[in-house]
Amino acid sequence: MSKRSLALVFALLLGVSGVVNARDTVNVSAPIILVAKPELRDQTYGSTILVVMPLGGDEHVGFIVNRPSTTSLGTVFPEHGPSQKVIDPVYLGGPAGSQMIFAMVQRPDSPGGKSLAVMPGLFVAFDAETVDRIIESEADRARYVAGLVAWRPGELSAEIEAGAWYVLAPDPALVMRKPEGLWEELVRRSQNANNTI
């Protein structure tokens, strides 16, 4: 997994269009959920769950969704009153662009502004105005993440083939669940039912 400059990542994010359904075999050209296998003992990615979307050209971007930080949204935005009311912590979404706050929101349609469909029913907003609007009007349906993960062409497929990840079908409700015990549950489910796509 490589760190990419934020300008390049956001340029790529703006170029993403549409959502593709998962298939029976590992299909990295559609949104997926990655679950780190127990053998992946990396400080950054061990015991993680990521939601991943393709950018085209076999490049991918994703967000770790089960790594809460000790920082609140109110600490990040001390002058923004609605941020003070958000109880959940900011999550560590990945090492690239870790100063950037993204709002992942579960909803049937786009929240507008600079936002993208990560998968059907899950959007990520990455401009300040849209993130603020989500904080103000639908904070209960959102998760706030700092940073992201980016893969260069071929990197994600190579990691999957090397056995680093279980690959699950996209599921916005799963992505938005509380993280306590979720990784262990998904590992057990994947090992017992061979629940890969």
Identify the CATH number of the domain in which residue 95 sits: 3.40.1740.10
Is the model more confident about 8 or about 101? 101
Give the number of domains in the chain: 1
pLDDT at 46: 94
Q: Strand 115-119 vs strand 96-106: parallel, antiparallel, or unpaired? A: unpaired
Local structure of 181: helix, strand or coil? coil
- Is residue 136 in some structural domain? yes
Average pLDDT score over residue span 157-180: 92
Range of the domain at 123: 6-14+31-193
Q: Strand 89-92 vs strand 115-119: parallel, antiparallel, or unpaired? A: unpaired
- Is residue 21 in some structural domain? no
pLDDT at 10 over 50: no
User: Residue 144: which of 161, 159, 155, 130 has the closest Cα?
Assistant: 130
pLDDT at 9 over 80: no
pTM: 0.82
Residue type, 73: L
pLDDT-derived band at 194, boundaries 50, 70, 90: low
Q: Distances in Å between the alpha carbon of 2 and those of 39, 150, 185, 194?
A: 20, 6, 28, 28
Average pLDDT score over residue span 139-164: 93
* Of the candidate ranges 46-50, 94-98, 179-183, the one whose mean pLDDT is the lowest: 94-98
- Is residue 112 in some structural domain? yes
- Is residue 25 in some structural domain? no
- Is residue 1 in some structural domain? no
pLDDT-derived band at 124, boundaries 50, 70, 90: very high
Q: Work out the percent of the chain whose per-residue pLDDT is above 90.
A: 67
- Is residue 24 in some structural domain? no
